[in-house]
Amino acid sequence: MTTQYKILFAGTMGAGKTTAIRAVSQVPVVSTDVANLDTKAHEKATTTVGLDYGEVQLEDGSVLRLYGAPGQLRFQFMWDILTRGALGAVILLDNTRPDPLEDLALHLKSFESLLRRGAAVIGIGRTETHPEPTVDRYCDYLAEQGFVVPVLSVDVRRREDVLTLLDTLFSALEMSASDQAAY
Ligand SMILES: Nc1nc2c(ncn2[C@@H]2O[C@H](COP(=O)(O)OP(=O)(O)OP(=O)(O)O)[C@@H](O)[C@H]2O)c(=O)[nH]1
Ligand SMILES: [Mg+2]
For the segment 155-166, what is each residue's pLDDT rounded down to a tens digit?
999 999 999 999
Res 178: pLDDT:
81
Check residue 176 and give its pLDDT.
Answer: 87
Proximal ligand: closest to the CA of 75: 1
What is the number of other CB atoms lying within 10 angstroms of the CB of residue 72? 18
Mean of the per-residue pLDDT values of the chain: 96
pLDDT digits (tens, 9 = 90+) for 34-81: 999 999 999 999 999 999 999 999 888 999 999 999 999 999 999 999
Give the whole-angstrom CA distance, residue 128 versus residue 175. 30
In the chain the first and final C-alpha atoms are separated, in Å, by 32
Percent of the chain with pLDDT over 70: 99
For residue 22, pLDDT over 80 is answered with yes
1 or 104: whose pLDDT is higher? 104
Mutate to test the pocket of ligand 1, among 12, 30, 44 (most ligand atoms within 8 A of CB): 44
Q: Is the pLDDT of residue 182 over 80?
A: no
Task: Please give the C-alpha separations between residue 77 and each of 81, 83, 105, 115, in angstroms, as whole numbers.
Answer: 7, 11, 17, 18
Residue 101 has pLDDT above 90, yes or no: yes
pLDDT score, position 44: 96
Confidence band, pLDDT 50/70/90 cuts, at residue 181: confident
For residues 102 and 4, give the distance between their C-alpha atoms in angstroms, rounded to a whole number.
33
**Helices and strands (DSSP H and E) totals, the chain:** 6, 8
Q: How many CB atoms lie within 10 A of CB 98?
A: 6
Q: What residues pair up with 122 in beta bridges, in sequence order?
A: 91, 151
Cα(58) to ligand 2 centroid in Å equals 23
- Alpha-carbon torsion angle 118, 137, 12, 82, nearest 10: 10
Task: Give the pLDDT confidence score for residue 1 in this predicted structure.
Answer: 81
Mean pLDDT, range 115-130, rounded to an integer: 97
pLDDT band at residue 177, thresholds of 50, 70 and 90?
Answer: confident
pLDDT of residue 183: 65
Which protein residues touch ligand 1 with a CB less than 6 Å away? 11, 13-19, 44, 47-48, 70-72, 125-126, 155-157
> Which residue lies with its CA nearest to atom 23 of ligand 1?
48
